[in-house]
Structure 1
């Protein structure tokens, strides 16, 4: 007698694709009873006053992901927005304080460029690198400048600035740099997840532009880099409130901003590429040698996977599933202690009542690191092992067909939409275990 297995409910209906898009990859993620973290299981993990026993949820997330209806709320904990030991009231106060802070930053940006918060955005440069206005017809059209508009930036409707900041003095170097990025943010926003019905609405595109513009202003070291829109887009979709989406994105950037930091000589992601080369050499020396022979020993072909966390290699739904599995595996209960608001030292003490010591409160990946004794070193993110797992899966094809770096790039580009997120995570964990064993050997 054949047993019937419930394949689970598909999750695509939560992230609707535009009807004219016929080639968008379908998600493999299924909502499965008993495996996916459900609303009921999530709510049962809280005490009456709101303290969360996160250990009850991490394994469930790793096994079957999160139900889309509670994804945003759970992500806030996985990314360290809130201390699991905080109460409902404490989180409400923190949330409100953050919303006020975001509103203040957004107003600061609006004063410099009034298009912020207007429901519109730009895709053409508004100033040159000397801070002088570019009187381009496309700029005038996008910023709604009429004959009587104030191009100095103090008018209510122009959203355009010739030379003035809110004080009508010369622009600072920081303000010039920020305004130079605004059109690039707009161009990327127009290209981000356009297959989704959600981003057919101008308001949602503008919300994404506003969040990225505000972030670029407050993070002067990194500003804005291509790829950030791919990381921010899901936050807008999962969290209704713009400020809450901003803070979720900000927490994710605290993990990844090192990848985007560039100097004249290096790109931030180079350290991870170096680790990727080392790990591949240990777990698959034949493949590493082949890539090195082709001139790919620097692993630059893997930059995109690491920078935007596989957003281009998976369908939209599967990339969210992959992210939450990664964050559950990597979960560190001390995360919230580290993630305090810029310039604030009070919130960590206020919202946290001491560190969680039990190893069960850590994600499975973090537990492996703790057991190995490698925690004292800078731990490698699981994303590096995910790239290795992809390379291993495509290893036979790379060894047989790749005769140059162009072939490597083509083979890896062709995997888009075909990868299985759960399988990739499982293989990454196995490779991590293998690497830790090998690394201990003299």
Structure 2
């Protein structure tokens, strides 16, 4: 029988108490996180166990920088402390090699590559608008570092290149970890893990098509109404996907919280207790029915928040877009919970789900 450490036991007790009181579950803190590893740094819990807890409860800020290295694939889950030190050294060396390569070809890019100069212009323009100080006036952002990493990403990641708004996404990685090579690789691994779903010419268009398909399948009345307001109503929601909903939350912590859900293994999705069931200790797991592209259910859930208002007011296309853009200061835990519930509802009709939808989410 597995024996829990005192720290883990205390964390579980606190989590149970918070659930019984109807409050948010406490995130995984430093003591609990360290209890997931033995003295050599190997996992003593399964990857699925840890991932399910992260999705269900979130991460304490003190844990997030290290945990994200596992979630993104920066570190292998099956590794020791020493092996992770080796991996980090390899990542640093690879980044330094890329930087040296970039320095050598930069003059050629500036004179012969029109796309590079255009990308640099966009990056500089975006960074100029980026707020760089905290409430006390202290410098919060290293713009030079952001520019360097974004340009390097443009040159090395030919699939994603540069997209206006990437500077806002990269900022969260700069605030998450300290070392430059960690910022670069976490950003690259995040794009890969999310299948470049935020890139306009790769994943955004597909997300929009699947969002329309989900609306048509789950809410035909609303789908018919939206179609009657013009074919571009749903397409106009593309900024949600381009920034992975970064602008709809109260804080960076909420953004990280949602992004963590996007980094979970596709073989596991947790359905958190519904608002009226939060006193229950039981959690519903969906195993064996993976849910890729969870961001589409997040978008569908947000649309459902304003659905009745849209229909009641018989809104036009422009008004619909305006009310959707007014969805700000959302709570990530509540949004994830509701989106998981939407996914559960869809799975009740699994035998009737169109093949394209089923393939997209599994």
Instruction: Tell me if both proteins adopt one fold, taking TM over 0.5 as the criterion.
Output: yes
Secondary structure, aligned partner of 1:364: strand
Tell me: CA distance 1:252–1:420, structure 2 relative to 1, closer, same or farther (3 Å). Answer: same
Which of residues 59, 65, 73 in structure 1 aligns to 2:66? 73
What does the per-residue CA deviation read over 1:279-316, in whole Å, with 9 as the maximum and x for residues that have no partner?
11122222211111111466212211111111011122
Tell me: CA distance 1:427–1:258, structure 2 relative to 1, closer, same or farther (3 Å). Answer: closer
What does the per-residue CA deviation read over 1:127-148, in whole Å, with 9 as the maximum and x for residues that have no partner?
xxxxxxxxxxxxxxxxxxxxxx
Contact 1:45/1:56 (8 A) holds in 2:
no
Which of residues 396, 404, 414 in structure 1 aligns to 2:316? 404
* Counterpart check, 1:322 vs 2:258: yes
Contact 1:192/1:233 (8 A) holds in 2:
no
> Equivalent residue for 1:422?
333
What does the per-residue CA deviation read over 1:30-88, in whole Å, with 9 as the maximum and x for residues that have no partner?
xx996211000111101222123334433332333211122111111111222111111
* Counterpart check, 1:36 vs 2:64: no
> Equivalent residue for 1:437?
348
CA distance in 1, matches of 2:102, 2:116: 10
> Equivalent residue for 1:211?
149
Alignment of 1:338-417 (within 5 A): 362-364=268-270, 371-372=288-289, 380-417=292-329
CA distance in 2, matches of 1:232, 1:369: 32
Greater share of residues in helix: 2
CA deviation after TM superposition for structure 1 residue 178, in Å: 2.0
* Counterpart check, 1:108 vs 2:108: no
Contact 1:386/1:424 (8 A) holds in 2:
yes
CA distance in 2, matches of 1:172, 1:430: 52
Tell me: CA distance 1:303–1:285, structure 2 relative to 1, closer, same or farther (3 Å). Answer: same
Contact 1:276/1:388 (8 A) holds in 2:
yes
CA distance in 2, matches of 1:368, 1:69: 27
> Equivalent residue for 1:12?
none
> Equivalent residue for 1:252?
190
> Equivalent residue for 2:170?
232
Alignment of 1:80-229 (within 5 A): 80-113=73-106, 164-165=107-108, 171-173=111-113, 176-192=114-130, 194=132, 196=134, 201=139, 204-229=142-167
> Equivalent residue for 1:128?
none
What does the per-residue CA deviation read over 1:167-219, in whole Å, with 9 as the maximum and x for residues that have no partner?
xxx9554xx42233112112222334546469963871111111111111101
What does the per-residue CA deviation read over 1:257-298, in whole Å, with 9 as the maximum and x for residues that have no partner?
254253xxxx64111111101111122222211111111466
What does the per-residue CA deviation read over 1:392-421, in whole Å, with 9 as the maximum and x for residues that have no partner?
11111111235321101110111111x221
Contact 1:231/1:308 (8 A) holds in 2:
yes
TM-score scaled by length of structure 1: 0.65
What does the per-residue CA deviation read over 1:114-165, in whole Å, with 9 as the maximum and x for residues that have no partner?
xxxxxxxxxxxxxxxxxxxxxxxxxxxxxxxxxxxxxxxxxxxxxxxxxx43
**Number of positions where the alignment pairs a residue of Structure 1 with one of Structure 2:** 317
Tell me: CA distance 1:199–1:441, structure 2 relative to 1, closer, same or farther (3 Å). Answer: farther
* Counterpart check, 1:272 vs 2:183: no
* Counterpart check, 1:282 vs 2:194: no
Contact 1:208/1:232 (8 A) holds in 2:
yes
Contact 1:35/1:63 (8 A) holds in 2:
no
Secondary structure, aligned partner of 1:207: helix
Secondary structure, aligned partner of 1:396: helix
CA deviation after TM superposition for structure 1 residue 326, in Å: 3.8
* Counterpart check, 1:51 vs 2:42: yes
Tell me: CA distance 1:391–1:261, structure 2 relative to 1, closer, same or farther (3 Å). Answer: closer
CA distance in 2, matches of 1:196, 1:401: 40
The unaligned stretches of length 5 or more in structure 2 are: 1-13, 15-22, 272-283, 354-362
CA distance in 1, matches of 2:125, 2:24: 41
Contact 1:296/1:405 (8 A) holds in 2:
no
CA deviation after TM superposition for structure 1 residue 243, in Å: 0.3
TM-score scaled by length of structure 2: 0.78
Q: CA RMSD in A?
A: 2.9
Tell me: CA distance 1:305–1:198, structure 2 relative to 1, closer, same or farther (3 Å). Answer: farther
CA deviation after TM superposition for structure 1 residue 242, in Å: 0.7
Contact 2:233/2:320 (8 A) holds in 1:
no
